A and B are shown apart, each in its own frame.
Chain A
Amino acid sequence: MNPQASQQRLWRWYPVWKRNALVWRKLAIPALLGNIGEPLLYLVALGFGLGALVGNVHGTDYLTFIASGFICASVMNTASFEAIYSSYTRMAVQDTWTAMLYTPLEVEDILIGEVMWAATKGLLSAVAILLVALGLGAVHSWDALWILPVSLYTGVVFASMALVMTAIARSYDFFMYYFTLAMTPMFLFGGVFFPLDGMPASVQMAAQLLPLTHTVDIIRPLTTGAPVENLPLHLAVLTLYGVASYLLALRLVRKRLHR
């Protein structure tokens, strides 16, 4: 392949991303209000309410502690919802992907575009919460800017995982399994609300297998300026989940659409 062709090949997913961005733009204002309003309510209620009972967690005030956790949970939720409900609608209900396959786009272009878009929405939600946290005094270091690329990367991972579910779903009801069996455990045991070191050892071990735990371990110190420990391990776990899920989703969607 000549360099120009491979350059084109590399960016072929971009129109897919842009299509989704154009649709989102039509409803951007209510979406952004939701992105900012909801974390504001949660952070004020839990940060100050629970914070008054909890006091400090490992030397950090509870509002700061939970704000960083919320960023991680929100990236997970936003990217997963997009790659589940919205992507499924485009694939199975609206035939948007089929129409794309009549053009020079291939299945991998569509999936990369969908993953990048879901990750972009995850990033937007992270930015919104970060701004709210900043306003409430829960951000203490310029390191917090690193939260943006980490959020985007986390979004890529969770979107890829969600696309595996989308690829095998026969109806919307199917997704309840994923929410109950995968996302709720991560939300509760990924270290979003409380540190895991108070948990039984077996639970702590199991939590290390969850990708969200590793995102939390990267993002939490970035809000306070503390050093991030075991960064290569956290990135490796996230990458493993992301790459394996993407390759599996690609295989499954190909099988579904190229029958």
Chain B
Amino acid sequence: MNPNQFAVLAHGLTKRYGEQTVVDAIELAVHSGECFGLLGPNGAGKTTTLRMLLGMTPYDGGELTVLGHPIPREAQVMRQRLGVVPQADSLDPDFTVTENLRVYASYFGLGGEMVNKRINELLLFASLEHKADATIGSLSGGMKRRLALARSLINSPDLVILDEPTTGLDPQARQLIWQRLRELLNEGRTLILTTHYMDEAQRLCDRIAIMDHGRILDTGSPNELIQRHIEPHVVEVHGAALDEWYAKAGKQLVIRAERIGETLFCYMQDDRELVNSLCDYAGLQYLSRPANIEDVFLKLTGRELRE
């Protein structure tokens, strides 16, 4: 096994806070050059896992290697090749956009003409060239996110870690971030991201790990996960005649059904017959769609609210 093949290798990685085990002996193998998604409800242990990768949270058990460096022993050297887009942008409010990038470069020991050139490239990359001298307070949420992304790239990192990169952004801003992340993948960089948006994970990630209660429940490409856990078709049905339809027709056609509130989720290999039977009932609305990662996620982590 060539260690350079992996950006991150974790074996039995464990973190406890007092009695509580927040990360429970997880195995992680992130390939170089892939986009790896870490999904899980609030409190699943995603952020703690990311902090351990950065060397910012000491762990209680297991082994961890990032970019070939044992963590936390060589975390300082490893971070020279790492970029981080934190959940809270943590931009420097005392500086303008350009100054933020220049000052951040200085933390890596970078300066001079090279950095000025890099800053211009990054302003273009983040579509912020018209905001070069703007203060942080005058930026929109999307612009701040893009600046945080640009800042994470100042040292041309091999690995970029993004904690909920598009949370709170409007659809246009999200699309732009996604485009940029794909460009980074095309340049051969490795991305690790956490997200609550299943469509984002499905669109961007080569592989996904679903986490809950400190454990990784399953890892695989979006299609693999869907095939492994869910029937290929989902029909969501609701309306006044739901019970009547289900008793008379639905029950025989559905492999697996789940009622959530007013809506019945029907999972099956082939949805044609079911859709036909639904057409006979005027009082029903339905949505027939292919199964997605959200279905997998809810099946694996349950539906109760996490707070």
Q: Which of A15, A23, A102, A104 contacts B84 (CB 8 A)?
A: A102
> B residues bordering A, Cβ < 8 Å?
54, 56-58, 76-77, 79-80, 82, 84, 86, 88, 90-95, 99, 103-104, 106-109, 152, 155
A258 within 8 A of B: yes
Interface size class, chain A = 20 to 34
| Interface set, chain A 1-42, CB cutoff 8 A to B | 8, 12, 15-16, 18-19, 22-23, 26
By beta carbon, the residue of chain B nearest A22 is: B103
The chain A residue with its CB closest to the CB of B106 is A15
Is the CB of A103 closer than 8 A to any CB of chain B?
Answer: yes
The 7 listed contacts between A and B (C-beta, < 8 Å) are A12-B109, A19-B92, A99-B86, A99-B90, A101-B54, A102-B152, A106-B76
Q: Which of A45-53, A90-98, A202-210 contacts B (4 or more CB under 8 A)?
A: A90-98
**Residue from the list A94, A100, A104 in contact with B77, Cβ < 8 A:** A104
- Checking A19, A94, A259 against B106 with a beta-carbon cut-off of 8 angstroms, the contacting residue is A19
Interface residues of A (CB under 8 A from B): 8, 12, 15-16, 18-19, 22-23, 26, 94-96, 98-106, 257-259
A102/B109 contact (C-beta < 8 A), A22-B99, A94-B92, A94-B93 known = no
| B90 pairs with A103, CB closer than 8 A | no
Nearest chain B residue, comparing its CB with the CB of A99? B90
B77 → chain A, closest Cβ, in Å? Answer: 7
Least distance between B90 CB and chain A CB atoms (Å): 4
Q: When the two chains form the complex, which single residue of A95, A99, A104 contacts B108, counting CB atoms closer than 8 Å?
A: A104
What distance in Å separates the Cβ of A90 from its nearest Cβ neighbour in chain B?
Answer: 9
Contact indicator B54/A102 (Cβ below 8 Å): yes
Contact pick for A104, options B57, B58, B90, B109, CB 8 Å: B109
* Cα of A5 to Cα of B164 in the assembled complex, Å: 35
User: Is the CB–CB distance between A99 and B99 below 8 Å?
Assistant: no
User: Which residues in A have their C-beta under 8 angstroms from that of B155?
Assistant: 103
Which of B57, B76, B86 is close to A258, meaning CB atoms less than 8 Å apart?
A: B57
What chain B residues lie within 8 Å of A22 (beta carbons)? 95, 99, 103
The answer to whether A98 touches B86, judged by C-beta atoms less than 8 angstroms apart, is: yes
Smallest CB-CB A-B distances: 10 pairs:
A95-B90, A103-B107, A102-B84, A15-B106, A99-B90, A23-B94, A104-B79, A104-B80, A19-B103, A15-B107
Cβ-defined contact, A101 with B108, below 8 A: no
- Complex-state Cα separation, A23 to B103, whole angstroms: 11
Contact A257 B56 (CB under 8 A): yes
When chains A and B are docked, how far (Å) is the Cα of A259 from the Cα of B16? 11
Assess the A96–B79 pair: CB atoms within 8 A.
no
Residue numbers in A under 8 Å from B106 (CB-CB): 15, 18-19
Q: What is the minimal beta-carbon distance from B215 to any residue of chain A, in angstroms? A: 21
Q: Which residue of B lies closest to A95 (CB)?
A: B90
A102 to B87, CA, bound (A): 13
B88 / chain A contacts, CB cutoff of 8 Å: 95
A18 proximity list for chain B (CB < 8 A): 103, 106
Chain A residue at smallest Cβ distance from B152:
A102
Shortest beta-carbon distance from B286 to chain A in Å: 47
Chain B residues with Cβ below 8 Å from A94 are: 90, 92-93
Rounded to whole angstroms, the CA-CA distance of A83 and B104 in the bound complex is 21
Pick the contact of B86 from A8, A102, A104 — CB < 8 Å? A102
Determine the distance from Cα of A95 to Cα of B92 in the docked complex, in whole angstroms. 8
Interchain CA distance A77-B6 in the complex, whole Å: 52
> Closest CB-CB distance, A20 to chain B, in whole Å?
9
Chain B residues with CB below 8 A from A257, complex form: 56
With the chains together, A94 CA to B136 CA distance in Å?
A: 12
Bound-complex Cα distance A105 to B77 (A) = 10
Q: Do residues A103 and B79 form an inter-chain contact, with CB atoms below 8 A?
A: yes
Question: How far in angstroms is the closest Cβ of chain B from A106?
Answer: 6
Say whether B103 contacts A98, CB under 8 Å.
no
Cα–Cα, bound, A96→B82 (Å): 18
Q: How far is the CA of A101 from the CA of B90 in the complex (A)?
A: 11
Shortest beta-carbon distance from A44 to chain B in Å: 34
A189 to chain B minimum Cβ distance, whole angstroms, is 37
Kindly identify which residue among B93, B107, B109 contacts A100, using a CB–CB cutoff of 8 Å.
Answer: B107
Given A103-B104, A106-B76, do A96 and B54 touch, yes or no (CB 8 Å)? Answer: no
Q: How far is the CB of B140 from chain A (nearest CB, A)?
A: 19
Residue of B nearest to A9 (CB): B76
